[in-house]
Chain A
């Protein structure tokens, strides 16, 4: 096992879905014990490649050319029906997979111990006690504490990170030769992301199984992979050793991907303004109703944000960093007046701050056209304020002007959100928030759901609009690099408290708090 021979060989693989090709003429090899990264944007064919290898393709997909060899055995070949029995023997035992979403890849109605044990039940003849012992051993090996208790837990009782560890335990319990990890950390927080990456690397070193690591995040791939394969539009654009790819990228697309990774570098100096504040927050506490603990008990409240003090000034960007669950979103809701269960003071200099949400797929009304979506804020403003009363022609003019500002044009007016890409939807969202010229826009993880290249474009757009319209942003993200790129000043939040705030440069060069240092070190 220890000598490096080829484990997986994919030759000239083309897979088609009805109508459109998914991947074409892909060649790749995986050696025993190495970690191969497949990097690309969504839709580049990286997942299809992995699913084809695993024999998990949907029935309407077809292999049109090429073949897949696993340890010398032909697993799939063009023009041959899939050998389901062969795959069943290999899946789980010799090749296994970790998926992106740890919540949906575990069965919510089963105990996690039993779910992991099922792998042993299917592939081995071990007696009951032995199986249980092995599962607990495995839980310990993936860094889960008190495995005996965990054995009887249900998935919803575990955190995202723990669930992903359970998934890894399940995928590695039979010591497979190949482990395919499809965006295993994308749904997780940065700090947990790092733990999972470290664990995968550790398992790889200890057990010498080969791994295919699929990600859209070049930074992650750089940290874990021995070799990297870059894919675009279903084709392999470039492949090579990790250092070589990063130091001497050959293809334009790879160069663009590397350039788009947010680095701690910014073109312009931070603007530190003494403009009047658009919002002042003083001694703000935000509460959240807690679950009832007993039948006759009154609803209790939980303090989710405590004693927040800050101002946002006209035309500046204040970044807010913290892990999910630290109270970022509760704070923004309180500022917007969506949560009225607060004490302390939020003083707005102007009316109606607007908001940009994370998910471009749920923040636009799917039943409406782009024109309607952009006109609606104007209509709503007109209903409250006579200054916004205008003719239909004038409205349309404003809408078209906004479309051009966000880098689109009149041809999009009659499209519905389902006919737009994720990046275009986020542009429309931004346009919708800015068309009534609010003084403050709260952007809650506005680029987290986007690919790296799109991330850069959307952030540039937001900066450009800020210069043109003088709007202030409260920019919320878990990604400190993204915040660095956008913000003039930064606040760091942990467990409902703002633990540090200051100018961007000062936070990055001389962080005071240990937690800030940790965040900076990990990204």
Chain B
């Protein structure tokens, strides 16, 4: 009997594989990307006619492209670009989401109604299409990409934050805070905000992954990060002409995107699960 209970114990305290695998994948990706900002094995732009379309070897881990550039170096650099762009997109849309979602959710009324209809309208468009329109208004390039994706991603954060604030605005402890005479801004950001953190964190993780995919998609369409600056998306775009001749050219940035997105998804799931375990105790 005691054996069996011990087994159960071990099981409940078993390794959180989501967390560790996700952490491993994310950390390697981020390390490579950060390293790629300062140092790459070869120059990311140096061309060499003699070394065009080399298959992966120990000298060129991911092979070379149509200009003879080292793909591994360009992937390191491009991953950095993609991650930085996505991080800023999430930062902008997350902050806007908290600010707008908190006020509209908590106060409600006509402002809430109006803003939510605007959000509905934005959601009515496919998000890539909307970003396309904004880019064509603002012009392409890294900064405009961040700005337009940031705005396109904001409505989903507004929705999440708003619904959480609506749920909590009538909680007993918030009523009591009002009775104590706590100011409105303080109720919003000191009393309620910490309580939506776990929900918000999950949506940040998902938003980050979507931003990576969106950045890659935009750059693939040639309206995001512009060549010769490397990003995973514009590398894919360049590679599509040589799919049969040099399949490693498309596979390298493609699998890197999968690696980052999967790693991050596993990491967020792992964090969520460990949070659950803690709350069960």
CA distance A367 to B1 in the complex (A): 40
Q: Which residues of B contact A19 (CB under 8 A)?
A: 9, 12
| Residue B34 CB within 8 A of the other chain | no
1/0 per residue, CB under 8 A from A, across B268-281: the answer is 00000000000100
Closest Cβ–Cβ distance, residue B48 to chain A (whole Å): 58
Q: Which residues of B contact A60 (CB under 8 A)?
A: 8, 12
The 6 closest A-B pairs by CB, nearest first: A367-B194, A363-B172, A380-B180, A357-B172, A380-B182, A365-B173
Q: Which residues of B contact A363 (CB under 8 A)?
A: 172-173, 176
A-facing residues in B159-201 (Cβ within 8 Å): 171-183, 186, 191, 194-195, 197
Select which of A367, A383, A433 is within 8 A of B181 by beta carbon: A383
CA distance A60 to B9 in the complex (A): 10
Whether A376 lies near B8 (C-beta < 8 A) is no
Whether A432 lies near B176 (C-beta < 8 A) is yes
Known: A60-B8, A367-B194. A362 touches B172 (CB 8 A): yes
CA distance A352 to B9 in the complex (A): 51
Select which of A62, A359, A383 is within 8 A of B4 by beta carbon: A62
Number of residue pairs across A and B with beta carbons under 8 Å?
A: 76
| Residue B57 CB within 8 A of the other chain | no
| Residue A377 CB within 8 A of the other chain | yes
| Residue A354 CB within 8 A of the other chain | yes
Q: Which residues of A contact B194 (CB under 8 A)?
A: 365, 367-368
| Residue A85 CB within 8 A of the other chain | no
Closest residue on chain B to residue A358 by CB atoms = B172
Closest residue on chain B to residue A368 by CB atoms = B194
Q: Which residues of A contact B178 (CB under 8 A)?
A: 338
CA distance A368 to B177 in the complex (A): 13
Whether A62 lies near B176 (C-beta < 8 A) is no
Closest Cβ–Cβ distance, residue A71 to chain B (whole Å): 27
| Residue B244 CB within 8 A of the other chain | no
11 A-B pairs with C-beta separation under 8 A: A62-B1, A338-B175, A352-B180, A357-B175, A359-B172, A362-B171, A365-B191, A366-B195, A367-B197, A380-B177, A432-B176
Select which of A18, A353, A377 is within 8 A of B8 by beta carbon: A18
Q: Which residues of B contact A16 (CB under 8 A)?
A: 5
Interface size (A, Cβ < 8 Å)?
35
Known: A365-B195, A367-B195, A368-B194. A355 touches B176 (CB 8 A): yes
Closest Cβ–Cβ distance, residue B75 to chain A (whole Å): 41
Interface size (B, Cβ < 8 Å)?
25
Residues of B within 8 A of A (CB): 1, 4-5, 8-9, 12, 171-183, 186, 191, 194-195, 197, 279
Whether A355 lies near B179 (C-beta < 8 A) is yes
| Residue A79 CB within 8 A of the other chain | yes
Known: A359-B172, A362-B172. A354 touches B179 (CB 8 A): yes
Closest Cβ–Cβ distance, residue A323 to chain B (whole Å): 21
Q: Which residues of A contact B195 (CB under 8 A)?
A: 365-367
| Residue A364 CB within 8 A of the other chain | yes
Q: Which residues of B contact A62 (CB under 8 A)?
A: 1, 4-5, 8
Q: Which residues of B contact A365 (CB under 8 A)?
A: 173-174, 177, 191, 194-195
| Residue A336 CB within 8 A of the other chain | yes
Apart from A353-B179, A380-B180, A381-B180, 7 more pairs, CB < 8 Å? A338-B175, A355-B175, A355-B176, A362-B171, A364-B173, A365-B177, A380-B183
| Residue A349 CB within 8 A of the other chain | no
Whether A18 lies near B180 (C-beta < 8 A) is no
Closest residue on chain A to residue B6 by CB atoms = A18
CA distance A432 to B175 in the complex (A): 13
| Residue A519 CB within 8 A of the other chain | no
Whether B181 lies near A64 (C-beta < 8 A) is no
Closest Cβ–Cβ distance, residue B174 to chain A (whole Å): 8
Select which of B4, B172, B182, B279 is within 8 A of A376 by beta carbon: B182
Q: Which residues of B contact A379 (CB under 8 A)?
A: 182
Interface centre among A78, A352, A355 (most CB of B within 10 A): A355
CA distance A442 to B41 in the complex (A): 72
| Residue A436 CB within 8 A of the other chain | yes
| Residue A384 CB within 8 A of the other chain | yes
B-facing residues in A313-364 (Cβ within 8 Å): 336, 338, 352-355, 357, 359, 362-364
Whether A362 lies near B173 (C-beta < 8 A) is yes
Closest Cβ–Cβ distance, residue B69 to chain A (whole Å): 51
B-facing residues in A1-55 (Cβ within 8 Å): 16, 18-19
Q: Which residues of B contact A78 (CB under 8 A)?
A: 1
Whether A383 lies near B8 (C-beta < 8 A) is no
Whether B180 lies near A79 (C-beta < 8 A) is no
Q: Which residues of A contact B180 (CB under 8 A)?
A: 352, 354, 376-377, 380-381, 436
Whether B173 lies near A352 (C-beta < 8 A) is no
Whether B177 lies near A376 (C-beta < 8 A) is yes
Whether A352 lies near B176 (C-beta < 8 A) is no
Known: A357-B172, A362-B171. A18 touches B181 (CB 8 A): no
Q: Which residues of A contact B183 (CB under 8 A)?
A: 380, 383
Closest Cβ–Cβ distance, residue B183 to chain A (whole Å): 6
Closest residue on chain A to residue B10 by CB atoms = A18
Q: Which residues of B contact A338 (CB under 8 A)?
A: 175, 178-179
